Amino acid sequence: DELISQIAAGEVVERPASVVRELVDNALDAGARQITLRLLAGGVRLISVEDDGIGIPHDELPVALKRHATSKIQSLNDLESVGTMGFRGEALAAIASVSEMAVLSRPEGQATAFMLDARTGEIKPAARATGTTVEVKELFFSTPARRKFLKSDATELAHCVESVRRHALARPDVGFAIWHEGKLVEQWRACHGPEAHDRRLADVLGEDFLSQSVAVHYNVGPVRVSGRAGVPDAARSRADHQFCYVNGRYVRDKVLTHAARSAYEDILHGHRQPIYALTVEIDPTRVDVNVHPTKIEVRFRESREVHQAVRYAVENALAAPRA
C-alpha cells in the first residue's frame, strides 16, 4: 500500500511546486480568504500552507489522509460537473507518502485545534484559529532518486511562486503571501469589485501587463471568454505571461494555446511573445477535468467550438481601438 501510494505520488508530486499547487487548491476549496505559504530551501525542507477556511473536524483528520478520500464529490454523477479544484482525494495521501506531513486544523465551533502527524498517525490538541495548516517537511526524503532531480533552491522557489501566481490570478478575492527563509517574497492583497481582476493582474504581473493589453469579452453559444490580451513592446516580451483558465482552473491546453496564438498570426513579428490571461467559462458537463492526476489538462467535448471562440475573442480584442 505504501508502494502504491508512492507510485501514485510520482504522478501528482514532481517537485515542491506540485505540493504547493495541491495544498493551495485545498485551501481554496475550503473557502479560504487568506493563504500564507512558508518555505524553506525552495520548499524541499519545508512547505507550510496556512488558510482560514472551513477546517477539518477532529474525527475526519485521519480520513483526509486516506487514498481516494475526498469530501468533495459523492457520486460519479458529481464528477460530470466538479465545482471544486480537488475531487480525486489522492493529493494528501500521495504527498504524505513522500514527506513528513502534519495537518493542523480547527473547524468553526470546535473548542480547540488538533494536529495529526501523518507518519505516526498520532493526533494531539494544538492551538490555532479556525482554518488549516498543512506542513510538508523533507520532501522525497525516502526516495533519494527523486530528490536528486530537484534543482537549486532558487529554481524550486521560482516554480513554487509560479504555482501560487496561477492561483492568484484566478482568485483576486483571496489574499496570498509567500515567505521564504523567513523573508516575505510575494504578497498579493485581496481585491473586490469590478476592477478586482485587473488589479490582481497588475499586482502579480506588473503594471506593464495592464498597459500593454486590452480587455477580452466574448460569448458564443455555451462558451464565454474573458480576460486580457496584448502585444508587449519588444523590451517587455515575456514567454511566461500566458495564462489560460477553464472554469477557474489553471490549465495548459493545446486547443487554447493554439487558438490564442493563431489570433496573433498577422500581428506578431520577430521574436515577440503574446501576453494574455484568458478565462474560458463553459458548462462543466462539456469539459472533462479528470484527464490527468495533476488536473492541469482538460478535454473539451466540442474543442473546435472552443478553439474558434478563443481565437475570435482575442482577434476582436486586438483589432478594437485601444480604450
Which stretches of the chain bind ligand ADP, using CB under 6 A?
A: 22, 26-27, 29-30, 51, 53-56, 64, 69-72, 86-93, 132
The answer to whether the beta carbons of residues 199 and 172 sit under 8 Å apart is yes
> Residue 299 phi/psi, 5° resolution?
-130, 125
State which residue, 88 or 249, has the beta carbon closest to ligand ADP. 88
State which residue, 23 or 113, has the beta carbon closest to Mg ion. 23
State which residue, 89 or 284, has the beta carbon closest to Mg ion. 89
What is the C-alpha to C-alpha distance for residues 92 and 61, in angstroms, rounded to an integer?
A: 11
- Nearest CA to 83 out of 293, 283, 294, 314 is that of 283
Within 10 angstroms of residue 5's Cβ, the number of other Cβ atoms is 17
Q: Least distance to Mg ion from the beta carbon of 134, Å?
A: 10
- Nearest CA to 319 out of 267, 258, 261, 259 is that of 267
Which of Mg ion, ligand ADP, none does 70 bind, CB closer than 5 to 8 A by kind?
Answer: ligand ADP
Q: In what order do the strands lie in the sheet with 249-251?
A: 213-220, 223-230, 275-282, 242-246, 249-251
Which of ligand ADP, Mg ion, none does 54 bind, CB closer than 5 to 8 A by kind?
Answer: ligand ADP
State which residue, 86 or 227, has the beta carbon closest to ligand ADP. 86
Q: Least distance to ligand ADP from the beta carbon of 103, Å?
A: 7
Q: Least distance to Mg ion from the beta carbon of 25, Å?
A: 5
Within 10 angstroms of residue 323's Cβ, the number of other Cβ atoms is 5
Which residue sits closest to ligand ADP, CB atoms considered?
A: 86
Task: Give the H or E element holding residue 224.
Answer: strand 223-230
Which of ligand ADP, Mg ion, none does 72 bind, CB closer than 5 to 8 A by kind?
Answer: ligand ADP
State which residue, 26 or 99, has the beta carbon closest to Mg ion. 26
For helices 254-263 and 303-319, give the axis angle rounded to 10 degrees: 30
Which of ligand ADP, Mg ion, none does 315 bind, CB closer than 5 to 8 A by kind?
Answer: none
* Cα 129 from chain centre: 24
Q: Least distance to Mg ion from the beta carbon of 33, Å?
A: 18
- As given in the structure block, the three cell numbers for residue 198 are 485587473
The answer to whether the beta carbons of residues 106 and 113 sit under 8 Å apart is yes
The answer to whether the beta carbons of residues 186 and 177 sit under 8 Å apart is yes
- Name the residues that contact Mg ion, by CB under 5 A: 25-26, 86, 91
Q: Least distance to Mg ion from the beta carbon of 151, Å?
A: 25
Q: Least distance to ligand ADP from the beta carbon of 209, Å?
A: 30
Which of ligand ADP, Mg ion, none does 51 bind, CB closer than 5 to 8 A by kind?
Answer: ligand ADP
Q: Least distance to ligand ADP from the beta carbon of 246, Å?
A: 17
State which residue, 86 or 274, has the beta carbon closest to Mg ion. 86
Which of ligand ADP, Mg ion, none does 280 bind, CB closer than 5 to 8 A by kind?
Answer: none
State which residue, 91 or 263, has the beta carbon closest to ligand ADP. 91
Within 10 angstroms of residue 292's Cβ, the number of other Cβ atoms is 12
* β-pair type (213-220, 100-106): unpaired
State which residue, 43 or 274, has the beta carbon closest to ligand ADP. 43
What is the C-alpha to C-alpha distance for residues 87 and 25, in angstroms, rounded to an integer?
A: 10
Q: Least distance to Mg ion from the beta carbon of 23, Å?
A: 8
